Amino acid sequence: MVLVVCSTVQMLAQAQLSDRPKLVVGIVVDQMRWDYLSLYYDKFGEGGFRRMLDKGYSFNNCLIDYVPTVTAIGHTSAYTGSTPAFHGISGNTFFIDGHETYCCTDTTVMPVGSDNMKDGQMSPKNLLATTIGDQLRLHTGFRSKVIGVSYKDRAAILPAGHSANAAYWLDKKNRQFITSTYYMKKLPQWVEEYNKKLKDNKEFKRLGKDIGLSVETGHITVDMAIAALKGEQLGQDNVVDMLCVSFSQTDVIGHKWGTRGERIDEAYLELDKDLTRLFKTLDEYVGESNYLVFLTADHGAAHNEKFKQSHGMNAGPWHSEEVKASLEQYIASKLGNQQAVIQGILDYRFFLDHEGIAQQGLDLQRVKDVAIEFLRKSPHVSFVVDYEKAAYAPIPEILRSRILMGYNSCRSGDIIIVLEPGYYEVGSWSSLAGTTHGEWNPYDAHIPMLFYGWHVPQGACSIEVHITDIAPTVCSLLHVQQPNACIGQALQFK
C-alpha cells in the first residue's frame, strides 16, 4: 500500500514538472511608477491593466534593489534576476577600459533591414549573464523560440538574451523595425510585410522627429508583437515559447512632460487599450488558459521639481556638467594637475581617468579623496561614496546594499553620490516640464509587478519583493533553472 501511495505521489510530481504554458509574455513599461496603477484604475478599461489587477496577482511592494535605476539595467535585471554587480549592464552607457560604451553597441555586427549603422550595430555582447529566455532555450534543447520587440534597441535586446531567435527594434531614421547580423542575415518575410504596412501608416507618417513622443509608438509596438506572435507561430506546439515586449513611449513622454498632465494621462490610457488588444489576440491565437504574462517597469520617475516646488515640497535640479567643471578646478587647485582627471559623470557616478591620472604622476586614491571632499560640501548631496570602500562606508544599510548591488568594478566608475530626496539631474533628456530617474528613492524604485494567466490566482500582497525576483519566479513556474547570475527569490502566490 505504501508503495502504491509513493508511486502515485511520484506520478503526480512528474506530471506537475511537465506542466507548462504554451507561451510566456514578458512586458516592461518604461518609466512606470507603481502608483499609476491606482491613479488610472477607474479610467482603465476592463481588458488591459484591470484584467491583470482584477484577475491576476499583484505584488504591491516591488522595489528595485540597486542603484542607479535606469532603463538598460532595469530591463536586464528583470530578465536575469540579477544586478549590475553580476550581469554587467551598469547603465545605458558606461565606461569599459576607459572607453565610453553604449550598452548594446557591437561594431562586429551589421544592421539587418537598414543601412543605419548607428541604430543597427547592436547585440547583447556586453551582457554577462543569462536571461529567462536563455534558460528556457537551454532547457528545451533550443527548441523554444524567444523574440524581443520594442521601440528601443536595448529594451528588445537585453530582455531577449544571448540565444534569442531575434530581437527587433525601431530604426528611428528609416522608421522600420530592424535587427542585426547577430541574429540573422535577412529579415523574415513577416517582418518585411509588417514594415510595408508601417510605411503606409498615415498616422505614423505624420509624426515628427521625436517618434517616441507619440502614443502611436505604443500602437506599432503591439502591432509588431502580434506580427511576431503569428509570424513565428509562438505558442503553437508543445514547447514553451517566449515573447518579450517593452513599451518605451511612456519614458520618452515622461522625460518631456513629466508625471502629471494630459500627455502622460493619454500615454497610459492608450497603453491600456494596446494591452487589451494584445491580450485579446493571445486569447484567440494561443488560448486564454495557455499563456503566462508578467508586467513590470524598468524604473519609475520623480515628480517634476517645479511642480513639487509649486506645492511647497522640497525639490530641485542638479547639473552634472556644472559640477564637473567646478570639481576639476578644485582638484587642480589641490593637486596641481594640468590635465582633466574626470572622464565623465553618468547616473550620479564619477568615472576617473585612471591612465591620465597615472601619467600625471598623481595617486588615484588621493584624487578620489579630494573629489569626495569637494562633493560632500556640494549643495543637496546627502552622501558621497568611494565605490571600493562602500562595504564599510558610514551610510544607511539600505543605501550600502543598493550601491554594492549596482557596482561592477570594471564598469561603474569610482565615486557615486546620493542626492537629497526630490533632487535629480537635469540634462538634455528632460525638458523644464519633464522628469527623470536614477536614484534609490521610492519614486524611482517602486514599480509594478503583475502576473496573469496560466496557473496564476487572483490576489495581491504587500510584502517587500524585488525586480530581481521576477526571473526566478517565472523559471520556477516553468520548472527550468534560474539564470546563471540570479540572486532573486522565487515568489509564491498567497
| Enzyme catalytic residues | 71
Instruction: Give φ, ψ of 433 to 5 degrees.
Output: -90, -10
Give the SS3 label for residue 414. Answer: coil
Answer whether 97's CB lies under 8 Å from 111's CB.
Answer: no
Q: What's the rounded Cα separation, in Å, for the pair 226 and 282?
A: 8
DSSP per position, 68-91: ---HHHHHHHHHHS--HHHH---S
Answer whether 268's CB lies under 8 Å from 29's CB.
Answer: no
Quickly tell me which residue has 595617486 as its cell: 363
DSSP state of 213: G
- Nearest alpha carbon to residue 368 among 383, 350, 382, 380: 350
Instruction: Compute, in degrees rounded to 10, the torsion defined by CA atoms 99, 100, 105, 110.
Output: -60
Quickly tell me which residue has 491606482 as its cell: 38
* Residue 21, preceding peptide bond in cis (omega within 30° of 0): no
Output the CA torsion sign for 394, 395, 397, 402.
Answer: negative
